[in-house]
Amino acid sequence: MPSDLINNTAHLSFKNVSIIGNAVGDINVRNLGYTITFNSTRRPEPNVINICNGPFAGVKGAFLVTNSPDNNWVEQQLELIAKKIEPQLGCWPSTGLVTLILMSMISKQVNVERMALLPNLARHPDMPKDEHLPCIVHNWLGERRIALGLVLTQTHIKWPELFFAPLITPSDAEQVKAMDESNIDIANPFELLHKVDKKTDTPTGMMLTFQVSMFKQMATLSSHQWVAMASTQALTQVEMLFVEPNAEKSPCAWYFTHSQTNQYLDAIRHHLAYCQQLIAIASAQEKEKEKEKEHQANNARS
């Protein structure tokens, strides 16, 4: 928690908070407490706070907050948190995650809607190749890693959209059955991810064919195969493959804009996010069991 957080009474106003992301869906402004929106999503209701990132708002500061009980204080806390978690992500965090962390500290109830921290990487066919999607500057898998750690340990945060079902393909059942019956070694998608060419220039010839086939293979593998090979370390090591922190100043890795590889990025990230989710849930459950054992042991001694 930022050091000056408890020395300011502004946080006492944020007892109940609803955070509304920029994804598709209705905006539900609750009568109780404050509702927070981001950037261009604005509402006329008096209890709606808007938070913009500095570049979007055209200001020098990291964030611009309007209509809160203390705009300057909220901006300061957001910047402190952003700087603290930046090393954990390898890049500047999204406004949504930073806001969630702050509100998790100062609110008794936090509801999150229209936000899954995994925006679409699919490009429109008419999009110029030298134009990047704004979302690629953030480490979304890393942000989900942090968010899952919060939601699974703090019961006052309600965020159903953070949790995904596995990505199902028509061949999933057949693949799993065949692997179970033959007991064959399954492909390791994480090894394939480490073979991805990260250069900005598009490969040519056989190398391009090989790279495209890898992306297709990873996207079409079953969730069973991904989960079987997943680990916390393996997941963390590949997060930055889907991030381009300096996209505003320098070209992106070629596979972000190549029409054949771009179509597979969202499926691959969905598999990764699902593996990450399962591991986070299992870890939280294990910690809960350890706490229960410790509690029982303390009771037995007393």
Return the higher-pLDDT residue of 146 and 167.
Answer: 146
What is the token pair recorded at 287?
A: 């910690």
Look at residue 173 in the predicted model and tell me its pLDDT.
Answer: 55
Look at residue 177 in the predicted model and tell me its pLDDT.
Answer: 53
Mean pLDDT of 142-166: 97
Look at residue 291 in the predicted model and tell me its pLDDT.
Answer: 86
Look at residue 57 in the predicted model and tell me its pLDDT.
Answer: 83
CA distances from 112 to 10, 28, 79, 154, 277 (A): 21, 11, 21, 13, 17
First to last CA, the chain: 34
DSSP per-residue letters across 189-227: HHHHHTT----SSPP-HHHHHHHHHHHHHHHHS-HHHHH
**What percentage of the chain has pLDDT greater than the value 90?**
74
Q: Domain residue spans in the chain?
A: 5-162, 172-301
Lowest-pLDDT range of 108-112, 196-200, 296-300: 296-300
Task: Look at the block and give the residue holding tokens 């570049």.
Answer: 55
Per-residue pLDDT at 265 exceeds 50: yes
Contact 99, 117 (CB under 8 A): no
CA dist 76 and 82 (Å) reads 10
Look at residue 3 in the predicted model and tell me its pLDDT.
Answer: 46
Task: Provide the mean pLDDT of the chain.
Answer: 90
Categorize the per-residue pLDDT at 58 as very low, low, confident or very high, splitting at 50, 70 and 90: confident
Look at residue 243 in the predicted model and tell me its pLDDT.
Answer: 97
117: left (phi over 0), alpha (psi -120 to 50) or beta: left
Return the higher-pLDDT residue of 58 and 228.
Answer: 228
Q: For residue range 9-56, what is the model confidence (pLDDT) as tens digits?
A: 566 679 999 999 998 888 889 889 999 999 977 788 899 999 999 988
**What percentage of the chain has pLDDT greater than the value 70?**
90
What is the token pair recorded at 292?
A: 């229960």
Helix, strand and coil percent figures for the chain, each rounded to 5: 55, 10, 40
Q: For residue range 68-126, what is the model confidence (pLDDT) as tens digits?
A: 999 999 999 999 999 999 999 999 999 999 999 999 999 999 999 999 999 999 999 99
Categorize the per-residue pLDDT at 241 as very low, low, confident or very high, splitting at 50, 70 and 90: very high
Per-residue pLDDT at 276 exceeds 90: yes
Categorize the per-residue pLDDT at 279 as very low, low, confident or very high, splitting at 50, 70 and 90: very high
Contact 233, 193 (CB under 8 A): no
Contact 102, 77 (CB under 8 A): yes
